[in-house]
Amino acid sequence: MSARWKVLSSRKVYEAGGRFTVSIQRIKLPDGRIVKDYYQIWMPESAIIIARTAADKVVLCRQYRHGIGAVSLVAPAGTGEPGETTLQTAKRELLEETGYSGGKWRFLGDFALHANYGSGTVAVFLADGVKRTAEPVSDDLERTEVVLKSRREIAGAVKSREMVSMGTIASLSLAKYL
């Protein structure tokens, strides 16, 4: 099967205020062909959290997402701060965004948002038995409504198009909620 591509050189061509960078790589394919301009989008690693309560409801956020241009139901998620492990990021984001914490945490794996562009590895966590312990303290631009959803309601949200984020859907599937 195809072997790893060799990156001959890489130059940063755009830096988006610390959020992501665009690079152009010069690449040598396994068959010897040279690709002069393979674009990569680099984003910091992020964490997404499927958190369930003792009553088997999943803690989700109803939030305007500008990339979609609509209010959407998404799993809590966020990018890491300097020095954080992805587990620390996940716990911080869950608490900040929803006010829930505690429970037993399990790492479900690192996944790829864009297998071509390399933009953003996502560490998926399952938190089992979380409780509301604080008020959400979000400094996000979006106002967030924290909602608890059953398995059946989650399936309904996909059908009704209230849930359209592939990251959220994939994570719920990995956690066996879809």
Which positions touch a second copy (CB under 8 A)? 1-5, 13-14, 16-17, 19-20, 22, 27, 29-30, 33, 35, 37-41, 62-72, 74, 109-120, 122, 141-143, 145, 158, 161, 164-174, 178
Nearest CB to a second copy, comparing residues 14 and 54 = 14
Q: Decide: 43 and 20 in contact? Cβ < 8 Å.
A: yes
Q: CB 97 → a second copy: shortest distance, Å? A: 14
Q: CB 128 → a second copy: shortest distance, Å? A: 19
Q: Decide: 123 and 46 in contact? Cβ < 8 Å.
A: yes
Nearest CB to a second copy, comparing residues 41 and 92 = 41
CA 138 to chain centre: 17
Q: What is the DSSP letter of 129?
A: S
CA distance 48 to 19: 17
Nearest CB to a second copy, comparing residues 83 and 109 = 109
**φ, ψ for residue 43 (rounded to 5)?**
-125, 155
Nearest CB to a second copy, comparing residues 35 and 54 = 35
Q: Decide: 161 and 125 in contact? Cβ < 8 Å.
A: no
Q: CB 48 → a second copy: shortest distance, Å? A: 9
CA distance 161 to 114: 22
Q: CB 42 → a second copy: shortest distance, Å? A: 10
